[in-house]
Amino acid sequence: MEARHDDILTLPDELEPARLWRRVLQILILVGVVSLIVLLAPGLGHVRELLSEARPGWIAVGVGLEALSCLSYVVMFRPIFCPRMSWRTTWEIGWSELGVGSLVPASGAGGLALGAWVLTQGGMPGDKIARRSVAFFLIKSSVNFVAVAVLGTLMFVGAFGPTLSPWLTIVPAILAALVIAAVPLLRMIGPRMDSEASGFRRFLTKARSAVADGTGEAIAILRSGNLLVIAGALGYWAFDNAVLWATFHAFGASPPLAVVLMGYLIGQLGGLLPIPGGIGGIDGGLIGTLIVYGTPAAVTTAAVLAYRVILFWLPLIVGTIAFVSLRRALNRPERPDLCPA
C-alpha cells in the first residue's frame, strides 16, 4: 500500500505545474493580443463603447450561471465514474478537470485525461476508465446535438423562434439527427484488442476498443435513467447557454432564445481547433454563427467576449483551488477515496 501511495506523488509530465503555467502564459499572451485588437483596431469603436457600458448585474448573473454549469459537470461525473466516491473528492476531480479544460483545447479532453490519471492512481482498471471517459464525453456532447435536432425542427415548422432560412433550421437539425443516429454504430468500429499487436497498432486497437465499448457503456447508462447523469448533462449544457444569453442582456440586447441555442453548438465547434484555451476558435465560431443567425455584429462581439472571459476564468480559478486540494490529498494516506471497493 505504501508503494502505491508513493507512486501517487508524481504527476504525469503534461500535467506538471510548470507545464500548466507555461500554457497559462501562452493564453495570457493570446488574451493580450486579442485585447489590443479590440482596443485599437479601427471599426471596433462601437464594440469598445458597449464593453465600457456593460451592466455588472447581468455579468454577475452570467458568472452564477457558469458556476451552475460547472456544478452540473461535477454532478454528472460521480455516477458515471464511481457512485461510491465522496462528493468532496468528486468536487476536487471535477473542478480540476474543468480547470485543465480551460487550458487545453479539444473540447475538454485534456481535463478528462487528468481525471483518468487520478482514477488510475486509485486503482481503477485502465480499460474501465477508458470506457467511462468515452461514455462521459458522448453523454455530455449528445445534449447539444439533440437540442439542435429538436430546436431546428421546431423553428423550421414555425413552432419556436423567428422564421429563418431552412439552411439555418432544418439542415442543422437533419445533420444533428444523423450524428445521433450514427453514434450507436461506433460500437461496431472494432477491431478488438490484438494481443500480438505492438507500437502504434496496439495503441490504435486499444483506442478503437475504448470507443466501441464506451459507446455501449453510454447507451447503457442513459437507458438506466440515472437522474444525476441526466440532470448533470442537461444542466451543463443549459446553464452554459444561459451564460451567453446573460451576456447579451449585459449589453442591452435580447436575441431570441432559439437563436442563442442554435448558434451555440455550431459556434462551439471552434473549440476543436488546437489553440490554447480555444481562444480565437470558439470566439470566432460563436460570433460568426450568431451574426449569420441575425444578431447585431457589435453586440454579438461584446457578448461573446464577455461570455468567453467568464467561461475561461471561473473554471480556471476554482479548478486551480480544487487541483491544489486534490494534489495535497494524493499525498495523505487517509485520502483520497478515489473509488473505494
Nearest to 218 by CA among 235, 238, 200, 233: 233
Tally of domains within the chain: 1
Q: What is the dihedral of CA 64, 65, 66, 69, to 10 degrees?
A: 130
> Among 111-115, 215-219, 244-248, whose mean pLDDT is lowest?
111-115
Position 179 in a domain: yes
Which residues, 6 or more positions from 168, have their beta carbon under 8 angstroms from its beta carbon? 155, 262, 292, 293
The answer on pLDDT for 195 being more than 50 is yes
pLDDT tens, position by position, 275-285: 545 555 577 77
Q: Which one-letter DSSP state was computed for residue 105?
A: T
Q: Mean of the pLDDT values across residues 144-150?
A: 89
The one-letter amino acid code at 99 reads: G
Position 201 in a domain: yes
Position 302 in a domain: yes
- What percent of the chain has pLDDT above 70? 72
Cell of 183: 453514434
- Could you tell me the pTM of the whole model? 0.82
Q: Mean of the pLDDT values across residues 73-77?
A: 95
Position 336 in a domain: no
Reduce the DSSP state of residue 338 to 3 states and report it.
coil
- Highest-pLDDT range among 27-41, 120-134, 258-272: 120-134
Cell of 6: 508513493
Cell of 311: 467561461
The answer on pLDDT for 304 being more than 60 is yes
Position 339 in a domain: no
Distances (CA, A) of 229 to 101, 114, 115, 139, 140: 20, 20, 17, 8, 9
Q: Which one-letter DSSP state was computed for residue 183?
A: G
Reduce the DSSP state of residue 281 to 3 states and report it.
helix
- CA dist 31 and 272 (Å) reads 18
Number of H helices, E strands in the chain: 13, 0
Position 338 in a domain: no
Q: Which domain holds residue 46?
A: 2-329
Position 89 in a domain: yes
Q: Which one-letter DSSP state was computed for residue 191?
A: -
